[in-house]
Structure 1
Amino acid sequence: MITADHLTKRYGAHTAVDDVSFTCEPGTVTGFLGPNGAGKSTTMRMICGLTAPSAGSATVAGVPFRRLDNPGRRIGVLLDASAQHGGRTGREVLSLSAMTMGVPRSRVSAVLDLVGLDGKAARKRVRQYSLGMRQRLGLAHALLGEPGILILDEPANGLDPEGIFWMRGLLRDFADRGGTVLLSSHLLREVDAVADRLVMIGGGRIVAQGDKAELLAGGGTLVRAVDPAALVTALDRAGLSHTRTQDGALLVSAEPGAIGWAAAENNVVLLELRPADGGGLEQMFLSLTAAPAAAGDAVKEGAR
């Protein structure tokens, strides 16, 4: 299990990640989505103990990453496929890590075969690898210690369509056998095809999260009001869950009629009330992250 608990990271006056909380359960693939600069990589680095949070905490398998004994046997990490020694062969990279983790040498050959780096490719220097080959080697490294948890940042970057299809099957099989996967990717269709849960981040804050089927079902209703704060109060009183989109509207998990009654009972004047466009994951992603949020303007109402 992976748990992020109110993670925040500030660089001077800039807040890169703001009060981010979510959980990744065993047996699931969680898609971690957001535009460039949204805070995905910083969040993943905090979970992996590479960046110290300004506030909040994160645990992997119940403890902070830095307190894990031999972490490579518990969690496999791929954050940057280029962070490999270019002068070593693919087999040498994995063999050194196997020695460090106490993994049998036979495991090196097993993961090389699993990721499709045959004998000839394994003997090449990493500097001669294509980006796709580096991604495969990075994934082999993440799997080397037979961990129960994977954290992967853009693992499909550089893979051809066949490679992307292969990776999707590998991650799905890993989760189906009880593993936990946190997957960041810009390839929305691939995330849609493999993820069970979604966490969307924009402007450093969570804008939506939950079961993928529930988030995509019906698309919800978009609503705006003359007094946004009064609208939030009205929806809360009615027990209607909602999230604020990056352009200032509220996306509500309810029919327009229920929202209209809640607004009327609280004397809230509405400016817009319409079904959200049902364009699947891509449409939901664009509607929630389309426009930059003004400083201090993003709110996580309804994010769990």
Structure 2
Amino acid sequence: MTTPSHVPVLLDRVVALVAPALTAPGSVFIDATLGLGGHSEAVLTRCPEAHVIGVDRDVHALDIAGKRLEPFAERTTLVHAVYDEIPDVLADLGRGPVQGILFDLGVSSMQLDVAERGFAYAVDAPLDMRMNDTTGLTAADVLNTYSGADLARILSSYGEEKFSRQIARAIVKERETEPFATSARLVELLYDVIPAPARRTGGHPAKRTFQALRIEVNDELGVLRRAIPAAIDSIGIGGRVVFMSYQSLEDRMVKQVITKRGTSTAPVDLPVVPEEHQPELKLLTRGSEKASAAEIEENPRAASVRVRAVERIRFKKDAA
């Protein structure tokens, strides 16, 4: 199996955002998307009072990150779970409100770099794309069993692919001859279906289709929809949550929730805002922050990142 590489995106900025909440002895930081452990390693190094709970659905990532974080074993707990299960993880560990949570969304460096996982369209590999490769449908299963209408819906909704219907029709036709098994055949089909002028803009012509399949296979948007409020409800006063998104669907979902919970619900003309209408979150970033040109040059995977961060300033009985 290919050896994965790992350059954590916006490492210093992420630590700067969460560190103020991790100064007290026994502070707990959840790395909800542990990956290869780069962000957790930095938090453990620079926040000596913090205990890290590393969560990942990928058993291979947990194994590699566990070795990386061995020097901090006494301050580290690794859990095989999906990040919408954070409340259950905390209950199982007997932990109360935590002080920091990080979501580094999307596919991890390890999953991209290990060709056998099937996430990358640049190499021919089995069409798997499962973040937890021990269970569930693969991308090949989706391509070979979904109806044309469902394939078109997925490509349009999750990949924002303009040629979703044409691609879906071609997939259904091609699989009648031979089921899809590896990425090269799918990439070849996409080159044939997407018109040449469209292929010359917007990046690799397979990018949107592969993104859509990955999101469907892993229920990424459904998991994130559940995870955002669950994470916010898991932090105490002064606790912080940092979200790193790499595509507009994720970022839009994060923005909607944190904006709602970071805005007063009182009529705008009230001279004094009653406590029950006060916002429960303070937004720590002005809109979404992007990586600098220097960071992108050093780490091209940072090119599309959007960072949003919040701090809990009060509890609301009607938090939703």
Q: TM-score range by the shorter chain?
A: under 0.3
Which structure: greater helix fraction? 2
Tell me the TM-score normalised to structure 2 length. Answer: 0.26
Q: RCO higher in 1 or 2 (8 Å CA, sep ≥ 6)?
A: 1
